[in-house]
């Protein structure tokens, strides 16, 4: 079993998720190269759920 098994799309990219309000990088995830990540997650700085966008 190789890491580059055929049939799978391009390798996933590691990105950080930053709060859109305070810009704090609270989470890490992986995504497909053509995917745009935007998730609602809890921010410790804002003490509430906010939208988190991918950042590098």
Q: How many residues of this chain interact with Zn ion, rule: CB under 5 A?
A: 7
Three-class secondary structure of residue 37 per DSSP: coil
Closest residue to Zn ion, judged by C-beta, is 19
Please give the residues from 6 up to 45 whose contact with Zn ion meets the rule CB under 5 A. 19, 21-22, 24, 43, 45
Helix (H) / strand (E) element for 19: namely strand 13-19
Among 46, 51, 53, 54, binds Zn ion (CB under 5 A): 46
Cα angle vertex 16, ends 14, 22, to 5°?
170
**Contacting positions for Zn ion (CB under 5 A):** 19, 21-22, 24, 43, 45-46
């Amino acid at each position: 079993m190789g890491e580059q098994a055929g049939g799978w799309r391009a390798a996933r990219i590691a990105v950080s998720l930053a709060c859109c309000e305070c810009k704090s990088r609270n989470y890490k995830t992986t995504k497909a190269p053509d995917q745009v990540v935007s998730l609602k997650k809890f921010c410790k700085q804002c003490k509430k759920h906010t939208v988190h966008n991918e950042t590098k």
